[in-house]
Amino acid sequence: MGARSPWGGGTAGGLPVGSPPRDVVVLLAVVFVGFTLRFFAATAIVPTLLSLTPAVWRSGYLWQLLTYPFVGFGGPDFWFLLELLVLYWFATDVRRRLGRRRFWRTVLVSTISAGAVAVIVAVVAARLAPDGVSPSFVLMQGQRTLLAVLVAAFATLAGSATILLFFVLPVRAGWLLWLTVLFAFVGFLATRDLAGFAGLVVATGTTWAQLSAGGPGRGLRRRWLELRQWWLRRRLDRMRRRRGLRVVRDEPGPTIH
């Protein structure tokens, strides 16, 4: 398959053709507004309350597990706008492939799971190193978790397609799953944000599990059954070696017409 854009549906000069889905526009608007509120003294408290923070377990701010992906994060620079642009490309393609209900179910299940695991990792780390730095979840705040989810969704749904990574390097879309984890690990090396790294890995894996093998959770169940079958074969092999047993294979009998 030849190189194609990651947003599907045809392009013109590298831009999506046709009107984007309305809920994608709303998603981007909410992320941008949440980002903007950070830079005004009167409104900065709003993104602080909605972003993922240690207040989840210290003060019971459980709503942050739901709201943190929708509050834009970063500095007022070009990179935030670039992240929104990439988010728009992938969100538009994934939304058109999945439909509204399945799109939002995938996003919510993956982001909430990522937030919950990140909080657990942060709590355990705080117990082991009580004098350490308070976790910031910087790697997974706002649009960064959304990007991980939607890139993983595209990689799962269009894994055999070829895209231009950084608009230059042709790679299979399926490789984006591993590249997302690799980028998250490099971010971890720079920030030491273990909880954020764990959250991005879970966001990627949960998205893949929901969309692979034809439906939510079926991918995980299929891999679990394969692992269980492998373990049973290994166990039978060990028993056979210990007891000196021989495996008798059934020979095909005559065919009756």
Residue 4 Ramachandran class (φ > 0 left, ψ -120 to 50 alpha, else beta): beta
CA distance 197 to 148: 11
Query: 124, 98, 102, 116: which is closest to 199 by C-alpha?
Result: 116
Find out whether 14 and 104 touch, Cβ atoms under 8 Å: no
Tokens of 72: 């834009």
27 within some domain: yes
Q: Could you give the angle at which helices 143-157 and 176-191 cross, rounded to 10 degrees? A: 160
209 within some domain: yes
HSE toward the beta carbon, residue 257, CA cutoff 13 A: 0
Q: Which tens digit of pLDDT belongs to each residue from 45-76?
A: 999 999 999 999 989 899 999 999 999 888 88
6 within some domain: no
Number of domains in the chain: 1
185 within some domain: yes
192 within some domain: yes
Q: Which of 14-23, 141-150, 216-225, 240-249 has the lowest mean pLDDT?
A: 216-225
97 within some domain: yes
What domain range is 107 assigned to? 11-216
DSSP per residue over 108-137, as a string?
A: HHHHHHHHHHHHHHHHHHHHH-TTSPPP--
Find out whether 181 and 121 touch, Cβ atoms under 8 Å: no
Q: Which tens digit of pLDDT belongs to each residue from 167-221?
A: 566 667 677 888 888 989 998 988 888 999 999 999 999 999 998 865 544 555 5
CATH for 91: 1.20.1540.10
CA distance 250 to 75: 68
- Give SS3 for 114: helix
